[in-house]
A and B are shown apart, each in its own frame.
Chain A
Amino acid sequence: MSDIKNIRDQFVSKLKNELSLDEINSIKTELFGKNGQISSLFKTVGSIPESDRKNFAADLNKIKDELQSLILEKIKEIETKEINQKLEKERVDITLPGRPFVRGKIHPVSQTIDEISSIFSEIGFSVEEGPDVENEYNNFTALNTPDNHPARDMHDTFYLDEDKEVLLRTHTSPVQIRTMLKDKPPFKIIAPGRTYRSDSDQTHAPMFHQVEGLHIDKNINMGHLKGCLNYFIKEFFEVEKIKMRFRPSHFPFTEPSAEVDIGYEIKDGKIVIGEGDQWLEILGCGMVHPNVLKNVKVDPAKYQGYAFGIGIDRLAMLKYGINDLRAFFDCDYRWLNHFGFDPLDVPTNYRGLSR
């Protein structure tokens, strides 16, 4: 017994020293190798008198376990230390820049179109499109604006032929005509897109964007028009309440016609939409003129409804505080980067229009 105890004490104290992996391994061999001290003792078990054998074997096993676990522990300790030393050597200056990334951006007009589509989607409008080059009929005549109508003067039109038969559409309203000619009522559509007028100064660009709206069914009246636009404006500007004014106006293709103003004020040099006592015109609308319905073979005695046209660029300017319309189309890297939106920022109903 004392032999075993001596070996244990001797090695326990040995293992308390600073040891290298090699030294540990040699200790291991010294104890558990073929002729190791513990191994040798196990060989003597058979020659121990039977009365003592059981105790001897038990003691020996206990000490074997103890030493083995001590050795394992020691090895682990050394390995950890070695790894830590290695990692310490690998240390980098983590404040150095990572690999560069470039961020793409979505143009504010595109973002605004997506916002608009998202809002109107919620109340059942679907998106229609039409060509940028239109014929005179769809752009004017079918919209109750015959040739020699003074209202044509309000549209400085780009023409593609001397006969003025084909032109760049001056508004998105011809999409109304195309849609109604193509399908049967009811109609509930919006049509965003490019529009063109030969007008160019600080507040006018020869190309701009409009969204057309059209809702035709059996009993759609001016109350629905008001409700729809009221809903849209509130949702678009993400405000609870909006000060809005319907004002009589004239468009050849609607009757009665209205222009819609929203209230605003300037606070700390910034425009605040929805309150204040200043008015800002933002769209034109009205009940689709019976002549227009007749032109597209819809019976005005059975069907009626409203249409509206909104300047998209103007909405984007108001919502995102952009001052200069011309800059929208100037493609200045700094501007695009500043006013653009992250491509992952998709306006949706459930996560909101904007962050």
Chain B
Amino acid sequence: MKITFDWLKDHLSVIDKEEKLLEKLTDIGLEVESVENLSEGLDLFKIAKILKTEKHPNADRLKVCDVDVGEKEIKKVVCGAPNAKEGLITVYAPPGAVIPKNKTKLVIAKIRDVTSYGMLCSESELNLSEESDGITELSSSKYNKSIGKSFFTQSSSNLIDLSITPNRPDCLGVRGIARDLAASGFGKLKQIKEQKIKSKKSQTIKVKITNEKNQGCFSFGSCLVTNVKNTESPKWLKDKLISIGQKPISAIVDITNYVMIDINRPLHAYDADKIEKGIIVRNSKSGEEFTALDNKNYKLEDDMCVISDDKGVLGLGGIIGGTRSGTEMGTQNVLIESAYFDPRSIRRTAKKLNIDTDAKFRFERGIDQLSIEEGLSKAAFLIKEICGGEISKIDIQKVSTFKNKIIKFDPNLFEKVTGFKILTKDMLKILDNLGFTCKKDKKVFKLTIPSWRPDITQAIDVVEELVRIVGYDKIKIEEPTKERKKSTLTQTQKLFHFLQRSVASKGYLEAITWSFTDAKYNDHFKGQNDELKIVNPISSELGVLRNSIFSNLIMYMSKNIDRGFKDLSIFEIGPTFFGKQPGEQNIVVCGLAAGKKSRHSWLEKERNVDVFDIKKDVVQTLVEAGYDSEKFFIDDKTPDYYHPGKSGRLFLNRGKESVAAFFGEIHPNIIKQIDMKTESLVGFEIFLDNLKLPKKSLKDQITKYSISDYQKSERDFAFIVDKKINVQDLVNVISNVDKNLISNIKVFDVYEGDNIPENQKSIAISVTIQSQEKTLKDADLDQITKSIIETVENKTGAKIRS
């Protein structure tokens, strides 16, 4: 909502300065967004006279004019306007001036080899009107003595842009803002006497509101002004509209705009002669069409509130009028409409047709239902004053009658909600100033809500009114108590934080990427999931919810590699989605590592990061989070975006409940398809929701501390086994030979090739044997060694290598 202090003063007697006003506005909830000096620089625009015109030597349509701008020197200005001729008084803008319409700053320019010092302006360029066919023509009788003077009268009033919250339609009018200010002690609201229409002429255009379901119009007031002469608005009206950044059009249109802004009463003016018989306010039928004042053709659906005549739709009630019945300069008879439309109906229609207008904005927030007459008479008298003519009686049709809301308010509620007290006397004064009527009923107020406040429906709204006007700075600070009754984080949340920092501590940079992604990338990683499309994405590259974090991470990894980085590890912890219903999401820790280890190292040989690097990160993270790696079970069944032979799936134990993690090389085809330039790319996904939480907290987990001081022995074995045998299985077989005595098993070599039969491999394992009860004798050791060899050979078909 744009206002000026000057306009406010039409409604407010006040001596305070603008600075104080700005502060007060924000304090009472009418936030000042910006303050702009519209007239800044406008003093540069001078009234000037063309002394002579010559044809431009190099352009047929251009003229070179000698212009008197009231200085000694005559300015040479190149001008293309057909009406530029000797003796014309017009508006001159010198180099350095900023053209109001397009905000461009003028410079001394050569136009086809002729230097032009400034410019002669059209009304359109000066935002005075839409007229852009020629330069401004000023009447010589009026301006002949003003050559060289500033064209614009300086306005000291700044343009103040307020951010009005959607609950305050009343403050979409200057008077509403003035009322709020007065209630808060900033000035006094001027009483403006309403001028009543006392005409004997009746309004001859018949208006009917159809009585049907979903009728969006509750009441329709109208007034006919006959024999008018539409004209340019007088200066005071033009200045008023220009002062808030609007462009004057014609007196009739300007008047309706003025009334709308002044008292938030949207009106519509029809050329009465263009209305075929009477006006019918009804619901539209699907397929009806009309051309609106924005010059667009709209196809209507069922049940949109339209103003129509015998020939069809004239306009969308409360949203936009049509071209067919619009007023023009030649309009002789004007029908003014002042109606009330249902906010919900307005909103529904405007949304469907995607129209946004000033009227729509106001009606959908709720217009004062009792302002119909005031609006009509205000506009009618102004039209009569400016355009002449005769005013008819006011005609009001309605399908429902407005009644002011009445609510009961217990003044004690104020302190209960705000924590501080104000005197009942002060409460009553504030409410009175805001337009409430109060009746004290024992200890409770019976409040009649002003018709312009549709937002106030219950007692709590009254509290807000009071505290807003008294000032939020009066609310006392209650220091918070440092008391915790419930633990801050749940087990899952703790695990989230732990995993996040655990992965980061392994050299991964944490990234946060969008929860949506490019379907093209997502396709590689969606596995068995459905594609989850967003209906209205911001762009097609962000068109689907991510089924996996990999899509985004790989895309960004690729970008970083393009930036010239080679050895990178990044990760993200966040949601992935498997359905479109709330809750159909998982928390995943997803990591990606690219490039080499020990690149260009003077110490070590460089190598690609590989599946065992990433496996270490996954296993270590899970172990740090408190899971027992002895129990982990790993197989090679992974989604198809992993390298089928170099990836794994990890379960927290052999029971194979849900997958705790996937890890491995990213499938080379994907790397190729997304054209990523890297020597190696490995990744992992840890599924937080699949990690079982310990039932007891750490302090309650009884951990028996037991160590053995008896001597331990190590025995090394080398088995030759079928290539298909997993080391995990082999180790498992060994550990089951004697769980009491075998305390550790370590794989220290895997070998295929020379001296080993085809399709077989040699696995070297070191087994630590130790008893909790005694020092083992050679015989015991021999016994268990023998047992290990026999069991492994029997169960896996391995052969001990001698």
Contact = CB atoms under 8 A, between A and B. Distances in A.
Interface of A: 96-97, 99-107, 109-110, 114, 117, 120-127, 129, 131-135, 138, 148-151, 153-154, 158-162, 166, 168, 188, 194, 196, 198-200, 206-207, 219, 221-224, 226-228, 230-231, 245-250, 255-259, 287, 289-290, 304, 328-334, 336-337, 340, 343-344, 346
A107 B166 contact: no
A119 B396 CA distance: 61
Contact of B535 (A123, A161, A206, A290): A161
B60 interface: no
A248 B28 contact: yes
A153 B436 CA distance: 30
A222 B418 contact: yes
A160 B460 CA distance: 35
Contacts of A344: 501, 505
Contact of B166 (A110, A121, A151, A194): A151
A50 to B, nearest CB: 57
Interface in B516-575: 516, 532-538, 542, 545, 552-553, 556, 559-560, 563, 565, 567-570, 574-575
B481 A126 contact: no
Contacts of B563: 332-334
Contacts of A133: 545, 577, 580-585
Contacts of A346: 501
A329 B512 contact: yes
Given A133-B580, A206-B514, A148 B343 contact: yes
A129 B467 contact: no
B560 A331 contact: yes
A247 B533 CA distance: 40
Interface residues of B, number: 98
A123 B513 CA distance: 32
Task: Indicate the member of A97, A104, A126 with the most B CB atoms within 10 Å.
Answer: A104
A330 B168 CA distance: 39
Contact of A96 (B486, B493, B584, B602): B602
Given A102-B569, A224-B480, A344-B505, A126 B487 contact: yes
Interface stretch (B3-11, B470-478, B686-694): B470-478
Given A109-B512, A114-B497, A223-B476, 7 more contacts: A126-B489, A132-B515, A134-B582, A160-B535, A160-B545, A331-B560, A343-B501
A331 B461 CA distance: 45
A148 to B, nearest CB: 4
* A-B pairs, 7 with minimum CB distance: A248-B29, A223-B419, A250-B165, A102-B507, A331-B556, A104-B504, A256-B464
Contacts of B31: 247, 249, 259
B59 interface: no
Contacts of B585: 131-133
A183 B472 CA distance: 32
Interface in B226-254: none
Main secondary structure of the interface of B (DSSP, over half): loop
Given A223-B475, A231-B479, A336 B509 contact: yes
Nearest to A330: B556
Contacts of A256: 417-418, 460, 463-464, 467-468
B501 A124 contact: no
A107 B565 CA distance: 19
A129 B493 contact: yes
Contact of A247 (B27, B509, B568, B582): B27
A293 B574 CA distance: 31
A304 B414 CA distance: 13
Contacts, number: 254
A121 B488 contact: yes
B732 interface: no
B26 interface: yes
5 contacts: A104-B510, A133-B577, A223-B418, A226-B475, A329-B514
Given A99-B603, A104-B505, A224-B419, A117 B534 contact: no
Interface of B: 26-29, 31, 165-168, 343-344, 347-348, 364-365, 416-420, 458, 460-461, 463-464, 467-468, 472-473, 475-490, 493, 497, 500-516, 532-538, 542, 545, 552-553, 556, 559-560, 563, 565, 567-570, 574-575, 577, 580-585, 598, 601-604
Contacts of A122: 482, 484
B508 A160 contact: no
A228 B532 CA distance: 40
A129 B515 CA distance: 16
A222 B419 contact: yes
Given A127-B488, A166-B582, A255 B500 contact: no
B488 A247 contact: no
Nearest to A102: B507
B581 A166 contact: yes
Nearest to B344: A148
Contacts of B514: 206-207, 329
A257 to B, nearest CB: 7
Contacts of A99: 601, 603-604
Nearest to A197: B538
A149 B454 CA distance: 13
Given A100-B601, A121-B488, A332-B560, A105 B504 contact: yes
B33 to A, nearest CB: 11
Given A221-B419, A231-B480, A250 B489 contact: no
Task: Indicate the member of A129, A150, A196, A290 with the most B CB atoms within 10 Å.
Answer: A150
A336 B582 contact: no
Contacts of A332: 559-560, 563
Contacts of B575: 132, 194
A262 to B, nearest CB: 14
Contacts of B28: 248
A301 B497 CA distance: 39
A290 B460 CA distance: 8
B489 A124 contact: no
Contacts of A194: 515, 574-575
A158 B468 contact: no
B484 A121 contact: yes
A123 B480 contact: yes
B483 A124 contact: yes
Contacts of A188: 485-486
A141 to B, nearest CB: 14
Contacts of A120: 488
B534 A159 contact: yes
Given A127-B488, A127-B490, A161-B580, A106 B602 contact: no
Given A97-B602, A126-B487, A333-B563, A107 B480 contact: no
A198 B536 contact: yes
Contacts of B553: 331
Contacts of A333: 509, 560, 563, 565, 568, 570
Given A104-B504, A104-B505, A231-B479, A248 B461 contact: no
Nearest to A199: B538
A249 B488 contact: no
Contacts of A151: 166
A227 B512 CA distance: 32
B542 A206 contact: yes
A156 to B, nearest CB: 9
A39 B509 CA distance: 76
Nearest to B26: A247
Contact of B506 (A104, A259, A336): A104
Contacts of B458: 290
A221 B510 contact: no
A107 B563 CA distance: 20
B507 A103 contact: yes
A110 B500 contact: yes
A230 B477 contact: yes
A121 B603 CA distance: 47
B461 A168 contact: no
B479 A227 contact: yes
B588 to A, nearest CB: 13
A158 B553 CA distance: 22
Contacts of A101: 507
